[in-house]
Amino acid sequence: MTSQTEKYAAFKALHEAEGAFVMPNPWDAGSAKMLANLGFGALATTSAGLAFSLGKRDSAAALTRAEVLENARAIVEATDLPVSADLENGFGDLPEDCVKTVRLAAATGLAGGSIEDATGRSDDPIYAFEPAVERVRAAAEAVRDLPFLLTARAENFLWGRPDLDDTIKRLQAFERAGADVLYAPGLPDLDAIKTVCDAVSKPVNVVMGLSGPVFSVDALSRAGVRRVSVGGSFARAALGALRQAAEEVLNEGTFTYSRSALPDAEAARLTADRR
């Protein structure tokens, strides 16, 4: 069994290596084991994937902190890989809420986690600059001596505020506040991604597989990206295959979907513990 400290060291080393690495997002223990067995070096949870699996909407209010951490623990215990968690906005407005969340996250065995500056309120979607920075600072101080890599997220582009200058200003402030990794989901193109990477000195995460442009890992690496996640897109891909199979049976009365399904032995192998 790999210790949390060893997982953290491996996770940190991935961020320090040359070029970008891909950190996919499983939504349960089985998908985590499959991704580990396929050869990925680190994993991250997905709030969207978890919400779908629980029959809930993908929204800020859909999941409780307890549900997110329970899911994270299951994924952590499924493999020996480092796991980072989507910790939403820390499940509260106050810096103290972020502190509680990251400490509980570290206690589950996670090697890292992210705190975002989105409020979850459509009428006021992004925290003001100073409170946003203070929340990251409090979280960073809370895990300073723990084997936990903190990612700070600037959410402007996901909430209809395509302000690159403000996004960069926030990421730079998050870096000064102690964040280890910086993340601005929804950037529109490679030029914007490169501009962000050039503006900060800490590793930058980019999400692929959602709506919008899709770039290769090589192109992202050349732009300066160090980490690539996929959010809930793997979970949606699995749901898409399920819907296609179900609609074939329901509407056509045929079962040709089984030709592209994983053989039972292969599914068992990929979701078993690695030896």
Decide if 70 is inside a domain.
yes
Decide if 109 is inside a domain.
yes
Task: Tell me the residue range of the domain where 128 lies.
Answer: 4-233
Decide if 267 is inside a domain.
no
Decide if 246 is inside a domain.
no
Q: Is the separation of the CB atoms in 213 and 157 below 8 Å? A: no
What's the mean pLDDT in 190-218? 96
Query: In what helix (H) or strand (E) does residue 33 lie, and over which residues does it extend?
Result: helix 29-38
Domain tally for the chain?
1
* Strands in 9-130 per DSSP E: 21-23, 43-44, 83-86, 112-116
Decide if 247 is inside a domain.
no
Predicted local confidence at residue 211, as pLDDT = 82
Q: Is the separation of the CB atoms in 157 and 186 below 8 Å? A: yes
Q: Give the domain CATH number at 186.
A: 3.20.20.60
User: 275 pLDDT exceeds 60?
Assistant: no
pLDDT tens string 221-244: 999 999 999 999 999 999 999 999
**Residues 6 or more apart whose Cβ sits within 8 Å of residue 108:** 69, 72, 73, 76, 85
Predicted local confidence at residue 188, as pLDDT = 96
Decide if 162 is inside a domain.
yes
pLDDT tens string 75-84: 999 999 999 9
Decide if 37 is inside a domain.
yes
Q: What is the pTM of this model?
A: 0.97
* Strands in the chain per DSSP E: 21-23, 43-44, 83-86, 112-116, 149-153, 181-183, 204-207, 227-229
pLDDT tens string 128-151: 999 999 999 999 999 999 999 999
Decide if 242 is inside a domain.
no
Tell me how far apart the alpha carbons of residues 34 and 30 are, in angstroms, rounded to a whole number. Answer: 6
User: 59 pLDDT exceeds 80?
Assistant: no
% the chain with pLDDT above 90: 95
